Amino acid sequence: MKEGVRYTGIASEEELKNSFGIPSAARMKQGPVAVIECVQEIPCNPCEGTCPFGAITIGDPITNLPHLNETLCTGCGTCVAMCPGQAIFLVNDLSEQEAEVTFPFEYWPLPQVGDEVDAVNRAGEVVCKGRVTKVRNPVAYKNTCVVTISIPNAFKDDVRSMKRVIKQTPMELAEQKERASQLVCRCEELTRGDIEKAIDEGATTIDGIKRRTRAGMGLCQGKSCERLVARILSEKLGRPLAEFLPATYRAPVRPISMGVIADNCEKE
Ligand code: SF4
Ligand code: SF4
């Protein structure tokens, strides 16, 4: 498949490399700085007029790509809110472990400072967890909120937004809690919440769940819980139930006495 903003709506590495809005790695270490990922020659220039420090130039013709003067940029974030193409971000390379990324956010409800969120890349895919450090929504931003999240430094060139915050009502939260406490594996005393946690941590099969939680390894050897675990897997992963059943059996399928085995031995 062809890459690039014209074909996928996502700027390719090549396009970003050839644009004039990406600051140097050295500048990113000095504090927040604009990263202008505007790679299509379109008639647009609000960013140029909106920067109070003259750090963005488009000039004539209006279809020129924006040029960033990284020395003049203070990382104030005004252009992030004012760009109609939502193509401007701020990156702050804080340390070897941590970086901050700032982006426009136009969904309700707004996140709160301190919230843990799913940080996503340009394609909207979850890349890592982030923590909200700043939420700005002054009247001048005309309802385009500007959110800053702290993320692991390794993802600072990928993360460009976050997943929407889904706030649940107290009733929904209570239902969720009740559901999570349903007993699934009686022998090992495991709840639906325990099984869902194992899936969130990467388990994709009944054996995977078993290795993480011991579900199905108790006295009944999965007779009561195996189908329930399979159903939770099917619901959470969105795949047919038949894909998970039957699980891999290992002898003995159920406890038997040594006498049963002895009775089947040939007499010498
Ligand atoms: S972050 Fe502020 S100073 Fe930097 S380019 Fe944008 S508006 Fe100008
Ligand atoms: S305002 Fe945004 S979309 Fe328009 S030219 Fe500037 S960076 Fe590109």
Q: Which atom of ligand 2 is nearest to the CA of 88?
A: 7
Tell me the C-alpha to C-alpha distance, in Å, between residue 188 and each of 28, 74, 196, 234, 243: 51, 57, 15, 21, 24
For the Cβ of 53 lying below 6 angstroms from any atom of ligand 1, the answer is: yes
Is residue 253 pLDDT above 70, yes or no? Answer: no
Asked if pLDDT for residue 200 goes beyond 90, the answer is no
pLDDT of residue 188: 86
Q: How far is the centre of ligand 1, averaged over its atoms, from the C-alpha of 54 (Å)? A: 8
Total Cβ atoms within 10 A of residue 81: 23
pLDDT (mean) for 130-141: 93
Ligand 2 atom nearest to CA at 56: 6
Q: Is the pLDDT of residue 260 over 80?
A: no
Minimal-distance CA residue to ligand 1 atom 2: 76
Instruction: Give the ligand 1 atom nearest the CA of 50.
Output: 7
| pLDDT for position 242 | 86
With pLDDT > 90 as the criterion, what percentage of the chain qualifies?
A: 64
Residue with CA at minimum distance from ligand 1 atom 6 = 79
**From the CA of 125, how far away is ligand 1's center (Å)?**
27
| Listed residue (21, 12, 85) closest to 58, CA to CA | 21
- Detail the DSSP E strand segments found in the chain: 33-36, 56-57, 67-68, 88-92, 98-105, 116-120, 126-136, 145-152, 161-162, 183-185, 190-191
Name the most confidently modeled range: 49-53, 184-188, 262-266.
49-53
Residue whose token pair is 């450090």: 133
- Catalogue all structural domains in the chain, each as residue range(s) with its CATH number: 5-162 (no CATH), 170-243 (1.10.10.1100)
| Ligand 2, CB cutoff 6 Å, lining residues | 36, 38, 44-47, 66, 83-85, 87-88
What ligand is nearest to the CA atom of residue 88?
Answer: 2
Out of 48, 68, 74, mutate this one to test ligand 1's pocket (max ligand atoms within 8 Å of CB): namely: 74
What's the mean per-residue pLDDT of the chain? 90
Give the C-alpha separation, 128 to 151, whole Å: 7
**pLDDT digit string, tens, across residues 17-54:** 999 999 999 999 999 999 999 999 999 999 999 999 99
Least confident stretch, 64-68, 149-153, 173-177, 263-267: 263-267
Pocket test for ligand 1, best of 76, 83, 146 (most atoms within 8 A of CB): 76
pLDDT digits (tens, 9 = 90+) for 97-117: 999 999 999 998 899 999 999
Strand partners for 146: 104, 136
Residue of minimum CA distance from atom 4 in ligand 2? 44
Of the listed ranges 40-49, 74-83, 102-111, 230-239, the one predicted with least confidence = 230-239
Q: What is the pLDDT of residue 37?
A: 97
On the question of pLDDT at 263 being above 80, the answer is no
Residue 225 confidence (pLDDT) above 60: yes
